[in-house]
Structure 1
């Protein structure tokens, strides 16, 4: 690959401009670019030449080709340079002493290593740039080439002009550079060009290929090789959804986004900051092992000038990103790799090994390590790997197209280590108990020796033995070493990384996963890694790393109390961090094991049930939570003298399950029991009692008893302000509840004033993306809409909130469905019927799927659908929807529930438009009377029913009665809402009122 550079500006009189061919191996591309840029800055012309001649081409001929261009050749050399091909030391020494010596004036070199080079390299008189600063490196370069400094002004900056020894300002957990990385130069070059040529906001490329094909290695090499092109390089491990979120969100701190505590908000803040090219548009994100394209919208900045690189096995990425298929090595790459690792083998022998392992990079790495370490001859090695017929592993981590001989080679390696370095096999057996990927193995050094089996106590006492064992595994390419912190953090901060294919093999061959000894050690290690603070968002990254290893290590089978408490802490982390789906899956697996040996009515299983029920409920799996909590409560009731605290907790959980299932009366009765019991056990102002009282108000609100709910919520708020203080999350939750009650009571201005204050506190205390803050923002938008506040950007605000809801909860979560409904109602009211229909249909279908068709929410959603049909002129269809909703709600909630009354108001309007005037009048009059009794004479819904009734009287030509009702209702509306409120203005214009249904599950 030759990159022609534009001619530099002419130099000053007295010094001619020269031409240089800057030759570099792909590994040192950044240095080649920097040297060319510096020479151009001094008025010279350059040609960039990546150089890796085929092994079949004689070296003299390959070097001669470099002289076809005019000017001197500048070689960028290091110990890696002389491995190109690979060539033997004899080959290089011969050509350096012969051809290069004869043309010495046409060659120059810069040296990038402090390692010893071939003696014959002296003919190049290489100038050493290793370990020096940029100014000194520039001075040495010019001096070696005999050039006078003459920096020119107003030159356009080169794209990769940063000095290669200066790392990007932000560098996030990119794997160490693999000094054995071979080939792939064409792929890397094409990849860089593809990203550079992409339109802004679309520079996303996915490397797709089977496991072990080298996708991660290519991505890591890209990050290192092209690092000078970027100011921010961030690596995101996507093995698990929660680790992906934590790794991506941790970039917030590096970007200076301080004060953002909640992980979902950090994700959004990072994405938006990069989209705005802050602090720089030169950023690179690498998502390693990302298999879920549907999550792309959450992370990928939709804009900006940066680049995104993804590695995946999922071909479905082609629908949203550019795809670059990654296949096995080309044969020349395979043989070159093998010969570098094992210099004693011939080209033909390397070809035989490559053929045996089908050019698969992961397996070639192990073969090269074995051949190089042992000095074994290839015929003997091939006889070994072909001589034992191991069957294919059952694990799905092993690709179907992997050669069976690769399993044999791993078996041979392990047998060798058992003899020469048995402690390495013991560490490998420990790794087999973990999940593949990153393993915090160094924490094992912190386990007290007394807690380890006799044969394993060396782990905590023998540092030298630990280092030797790890070094052996690294040298044989079994695992790679990673370090979380800067040097000096200690061995306990070290972690290792093991590929999933290797993990699959060693799990079978070492038997570590089946050993109780190794499992117990890993369980103690996980206990050691537990920060013990699942509610502290600063500890969430640590918990995110623990989660993948819990089930893999069978920690849920442990009968050790500390291990069980660690598992409960991980579930609490899932609850507080919003990882509801992941937590529910983990809790289900834990329960399956714990029920085998724990008392079903005991405290440990009770704590698990509480966490599992909470997670299921918040994930929208209400019936599963109900079944779980009902079973627990029934068992406790059967036990004479059962623990009263456990029983009240179970009752509280069951009440919480029944509320979203629409069983409002039953839930309220249970919650009243909880309130009475907690007050007796703990007192009326204790946290548990106040939580019970808060939930009592939720039940009252669902039943439409808004004033009763407000009285309870206001009392709870006052007590929480005293006991917990004003900025406690529970106190803020009570503030939200009071504002909601006020809005539902029709006291819109009071509701808005309280919610505005609460919103500011939520942002300060919990951050913008916390689920409770999103709920507060949703309530604020509804308060603003009901209060008639002029907001030109209301639609934008709702769309923005919807985007955040999706990030935190997903599109099908009940809180997102509620926002879709309110957004759709707003759009319908303002004339965007097409999008309104789309959103309301999606929300209705979502609620039916979540709750079933015979639920109050699902039933009431038909009324909103009817309003859209009515606005579109479909009167008959609208009336049919209204009538169905009214009949269903009357059956489910009763005729006096506010939701039923609102639906009745819409139904009377539908009848009026369909010219069923008598029926319309009878319904509007009955609805008005019921609303006045239930909600009060001045409630907005009551007054809307009065306006509707006046319209029906006028339709029946009872004009005097209509005028009397209109006069009264206008006076009441003006007094309660104000003369300029939209309800008042609509009534004055005799516009038929309607009532939006706002879904609420508690």
Structure 2
């Protein structure tokens, strides 16, 4: 069930009251703050150790274990999980437990939850509720006066709580209170955007409350100012108590002194409904208290906006400095380690409110750069681009263009730009960085190495494969010389060299490099490190491209299981691994397995994560379109393949290997539709284009040649078909080896062309040799072997890959 309504309507309070009132009906009650994706995954994953489940420390693995346990009802069948402040309906499929006998309660402003489950619209208070509540907390007012206050503030629950607290504390007559509200005589404010539908008169009422706090409990006001320098929502205020008193400004040292002032200040703010007390204790029903450093409060975003305005002053920077100090002290220091991602997810929303983006302090700057790297490593590309833009806007006025920090910012930004499909922007930015470095009297060789590696990646995505490889090879040589062959930066450069070799069609060399990188990463990092798992994916892809389908399938199946555990089902690296797994299963020809539903489900998940136009999504769109063509769904296949080809051209331009090769896929579709002449035109265009861009011996070129020879045969150009098939067989043998599936497909195609020319003796000899090799290397029941025995003309599906 989802409780849906405007900010401050009381959704969280309703969920909390339900949890308290009905906790005896449940074995487990678990509260998940869900306003930030990373915080949500962290808190949800913490349920695994609380339930005694066997799982690792990574959020992805813990969430998988939790979902499975809740579904099975083991160890508890009566459970309640509350997701508070969850706006992203698209994440539901990867988070919510499927099945089970427990309950899920969600609070949200998003009405889209109707597509997932039951929705309860939370209204404002009924008038009787407003007046009753006001009179209970401010017994001196009459029903008519309570009604007047309710009318003034439109029965909004958050404002009712605030007005009741103020009236009850001050025992102020209602007419006087409303006069002050209407006149705005106390700290009148301009419109505050965070208020949304709240009446503007509530601003004056809040300023009256803060004046009261200033007079009666000044330390509570100091605490409130500090809270306003954190982001709204959950505020880990207890972290401040971990700072040594001598490191705090004088007016805040009482926080770390373990005096009664701390709980009294918290209670004052809670009583006035400015904050609600929060904790990271295991569950509502367990009732365990967290330690002082884990203590937290929750400030509603509407209240936070008002507090920020009302408490702004000369001492704001002092409070922001304390928050920055706390954040720096919480920096895990390793964004590539998935075990540190929950902490980064908690830090990220605090950066802007704390002033960290405007700081020139070295440790604060490193924290900001670390958060950018976390965004890339965890797949939060949109968040990362927004953060990079905001950081650059601040830093251009703080640092020189060729300073260490600006160069590092540029490097972190271009990585996210590439991941987001903005290849030309990445190339331009990397080129500018390289020019700045080369203009320095003594460029830092490590930074030059990183800049060249980034530029090599840009060149790959832009289809300039030989240039990319040469540059990356030089980077690896420099890394080995300066840092050593086993250092992680060198290994990252070596991994990129494997990608460059794969794009050049040198699959055997790519596998050799990738396997060496994998073994070293397993030794230097760990088997479950994201970089190591990246190498697992690369090796499995190499094996598949080498035609070793069963070896590739075995490696990728294990890799996918591990990546789901470590990174989660919707992490980009996991999606890439699952994509390759589907292709491994298709190529391995597993008997009786229909991978169509798997591809459709995976495509839906890709679109949720990437969006339709993203290059990672387009790869799967193409592969699924090819699959649908083979299985007879020509209409949907055409929609998908046309969408992919057009979008690729928009992304990388016309003269690029990927959109050029896509023509061959569309040609196969036209051929299946019966348009043989039109298909041949596209086959020939793809072949000519790839010969120009990649050369005659590239596997992509040879695949297009295989299809072009088939197109010539079907249109009656038999001599030309046989000539092209003979040349293609010779080149595939030289490039890929005698037993590679593409070589054997070329051999089978040549036999068909020879038979069409009535050259049966040679045709039989060529065909028999191909059948023997297919049976020996792939098995008698493999689809390639069976198709060759049935004399079905072989074809080649172009699999787009940008690098």
Q: Give the TM-score normalised by the residue count of structure 1.
A: 0.73
Checking the alignment, whether the CA contact within 8 Å between 2:59 and 2:567 is kept in structure 1 is no
The reply on whether 1:970 has 2:771 as its aligned counterpart is: yes
Checking the alignment, whether the CA contact within 8 Å between 1:513 and 1:519 is kept in structure 2 is no
Mean Cα displacement is larger for which, 989-998 or 539-548? 539-548
Mean Cα displacement is larger for which, 670-679 or 840-849? 840-849
The reply on whether 1:380 has 2:181 as its aligned counterpart is: no
2:379 to 569, 578, 603: 578
Counterpart of 2:474 in structure 1 is: 673
Taking a change above 3 Å as real, the CA distance of residues 978 and 319 of structure 1, as seen in their structure-2 partners, is: closer
- Secondary structure at 1:463 match in 2: coil
Once the two structures are TM-superposed, the CA of residue 803 in structure 1 deviates from its matched residue by: 6.6
The reply on whether 1:944 has 2:740 as its aligned counterpart is: no
Taking a change above 3 Å as real, the CA distance of residues 275 and 803 of structure 1, as seen in their structure-2 partners, is: farther
Once the two structures are TM-superposed, the CA of residue 441 in structure 1 deviates from its matched residue by: 1.4
Taking a change above 3 Å as real, the CA distance of residues 444 and 828 of structure 1, as seen in their structure-2 partners, is: same
Distance 2:60 2:555 in 1: 26
Counterpart of 1:557 in structure 2 is: 358
- Secondary structure at 1:481 match in 2: strand
Taking a change above 3 Å as real, the CA distance of residues 532 and 935 of structure 1, as seen in their structure-2 partners, is: closer
Counterpart of 1:483 in structure 2 is: 279
Counterpart of 2:132 in structure 1 is: 336
2:59 to 245, 256, 263: 263
1:530-549 equivalent positions in 2, closer than 5 A: 530-549=331-350
- Secondary structure at 1:384 match in 2: helix
1:294-373 equivalent positions in 2, closer than 5 A: 294-318=90-114, 320-373=116-169
Once the two structures are TM-superposed, the CA of residue 359 in structure 1 deviates from its matched residue by: 1.3
Distance 2:653 2:11 in 1: 45
Once the two structures are TM-superposed, the CA of residue 430 in structure 1 deviates from its matched residue by: 1.6
Counterpart of 1:407 in structure 2 is: 203
Q: Deviations over 1:132-187 (max 9, x none)?
A: xxxxxxxxxxxxxxxxxxxxxxxxxxxxxxxxxxxxxxxxxxxxxxxxxxxxxxxx
Taking a change above 3 Å as real, the CA distance of residues 476 and 970 of structure 1, as seen in their structure-2 partners, is: closer
Q: Deviations over 1:768-826 (max 9, x none)?
A: 87765654554454444434443625446556665776677666654444344434434
Once the two structures are TM-superposed, the CA of residue 722 in structure 1 deviates from its matched residue by: 6.4
Distance 1:510 1:862 in 2: 63
Q: Deviations over 1:516-543 (max 9, x none)?
A: 2121111112223334444444443332
The reply on whether 1:659 has 2:463 as its aligned counterpart is: no
Checking the alignment, whether the CA contact within 8 Å between 2:61 and 2:567 is kept in structure 1 is no
- Which has the higher relative contact order, 1 or 2, with Cα contacts under 8 A spaced 6 or more apart? 2
Q: Deviations over 1:171-230 (max 9, x none)?
A: xxxxxxxxxxxxxxxxxxxxxxxxxxxxxxxxx3x3333222222222222332333444
Checking the alignment, whether the CA contact within 8 Å between 2:58 and 2:565 is kept in structure 1 is no
- Secondary structure at 1:994 match in 2: coil
Q: Deviations over 1:283-308 (max 9, x none)?
A: 43433333333333333445444444
- Secondary structure at 2:228 match in 1: helix
Taking a change above 3 Å as real, the CA distance of residues 852 and 238 of structure 1, as seen in their structure-2 partners, is: farther
Distance 2:522 2:229 in 1: 48
Distance 1:383 1:413 in 2: 15
- Secondary structure at 1:597 match in 2: coil
Counterpart of 2:705 in structure 1 is: 904
How many residues of Structure 1 are paired with residues of Structure 2 in the alignment? 797
Counterpart of 2:500 in structure 1 is: 699
Once the two structures are TM-superposed, the CA of residue 634 in structure 1 deviates from its matched residue by: 1.7
Checking the alignment, whether the CA contact within 8 Å between 1:662 and 1:856 is kept in structure 2 is yes
Distance 2:256 2:523 in 1: 50
Counterpart of 1:915 in structure 2 is: 716
Checking the alignment, whether the CA contact within 8 Å between 1:648 and 1:674 is kept in structure 2 is yes
The reply on whether 1:931 has 2:732 as its aligned counterpart is: yes
The reply on whether 1:474 has 2:292 as its aligned counterpart is: no
The reply on whether 1:786 has 2:591 as its aligned counterpart is: no
Counterpart of 2:284 in structure 1 is: none
Q: CA RMSD in A?
A: 3.4
Distance 1:317 1:712 in 2: 47
Counterpart of 1:890 in structure 2 is: 691
Counterpart of 2:21 in structure 1 is: 225
The reply on whether 1:213 has 2:9 as its aligned counterpart is: yes
Counterpart of 1:995 in structure 2 is: 796
Distance 1:218 1:716 in 2: 53
Counterpart of 1:396 in structure 2 is: 193
Distance 1:910 1:885 in 2: 12
The reply on whether 1:682 has 2:478 as its aligned counterpart is: no
Once the two structures are TM-superposed, the CA of residue 355 in structure 1 deviates from its matched residue by: 1.5
The reply on whether 1:458 has 2:259 as its aligned counterpart is: no
Checking the alignment, whether the CA contact within 8 Å between 1:242 and 1:579 is kept in structure 2 is no
- Secondary structure at 1:496 match in 2: strand
The reply on whether 1:857 has 2:658 as its aligned counterpart is: yes
Distance 2:267 2:519 in 1: 62
Distance 1:714 1:677 in 2: 20
Once the two structures are TM-superposed, the CA of residue 362 in structure 1 deviates from its matched residue by: 1.0
Q: Deviations over 1:748-767 (max 9, x none)?
A: 45545665676787789878
Taking a change above 3 Å as real, the CA distance of residues 855 and 791 of structure 1, as seen in their structure-2 partners, is: farther
Checking the alignment, whether the CA contact within 8 Å between 2:61 and 2:564 is kept in structure 1 is no
Counterpart of 2:544 in structure 1 is: 743
Taking a change above 3 Å as real, the CA distance of residues 364 and 808 of structure 1, as seen in their structure-2 partners, is: same
Which consecutive unaligned segments of at least 5 residues does structure 1 have?
1-203
Counterpart of 1:611 in structure 2 is: 412
Mean Cα displacement is larger for which, 870-879 or 358-367? 870-879
- Secondary structure at 1:746 match in 2: coil
The reply on whether 1:625 has 2:426 as its aligned counterpart is: yes
Q: Deviations over 1:469-495 (max 9, x none)?
A: 222211111111112237664432211
* Greater C-alpha Rg: 1
Distance 2:320 2:660 in 1: 52
Q: Deviations over 1:543-596 (max 9, x none)?
A: 222221112222111111222222233333333333333233223322332232
Taking a change above 3 Å as real, the CA distance of residues 251 and 754 of structure 1, as seen in their structure-2 partners, is: closer
Checking the alignment, whether the CA contact within 8 Å between 1:260 and 1:767 is kept in structure 2 is no
The reply on whether 1:432 has 2:233 as its aligned counterpart is: no
Once the two structures are TM-superposed, the CA of residue 511 in structure 1 deviates from its matched residue by: 0.5
Q: Deviations over 1:21-68 (max 9, x none)?
A: xxxxxxxxxxxxxxxxxxxxxxxxxxxxxxxxxxxxxxxxxxxxxxxx
Mean Cα displacement is larger for which, 382-391 or 546-555? 382-391
Distance 2:712 2:667 in 1: 12
- Secondary structure at 1:433 match in 2: coil
Checking the alignment, whether the CA contact within 8 Å between 2:60 and 2:568 is kept in structure 1 is no
Q: Deviations over 1:419-438 (max 9, x none)?
A: 22222222212222222111
Taking a change above 3 Å as real, the CA distance of residues 824 and 262 of structure 1, as seen in their structure-2 partners, is: farther
Counterpart of 1:47 in structure 2 is: none
Checking the alignment, whether the CA contact within 8 Å between 2:453 and 2:471 is kept in structure 1 is yes
Distance 2:790 2:522 in 1: 45
Taking a change above 3 Å as real, the CA distance of residues 267 and 727 of structure 1, as seen in their structure-2 partners, is: closer
- Secondary structure at 1:287 match in 2: strand
The reply on whether 1:492 has 2:293 as its aligned counterpart is: yes
The reply on whether 1:421 has 2:421 as its aligned counterpart is: no
Distance 2:321 2:785 in 1: 72
Taking a change above 3 Å as real, the CA distance of residues 428 and 852 of structure 1, as seen in their structure-2 partners, is: farther
Distance 2:315 2:390 in 1: 19
Q: Give the TM-score normalised by the residue count of structure 2.
A: 0.89
Taking a change above 3 Å as real, the CA distance of residues 262 and 775 of structure 1, as seen in their structure-2 partners, is: farther
Which consecutive unaligned segments of at least 5 residues does structure 2 have?
282-286
Taking a change above 3 Å as real, the CA distance of residues 951 and 493 of structure 1, as seen in their structure-2 partners, is: same
Distance 2:260 2:289 in 1: 16
Query: Higher helix share goes to which structure?
Result: 2
Q: Deviations over 1:207-259 (max 9, x none)?
A: 33322222222222233233344444333323223323333343344455432
Distance 1:513 1:670 in 2: 53
Mean Cα displacement is larger for which, 271-280 or 689-698? 271-280
Distance 2:161 2:364 in 1: 37
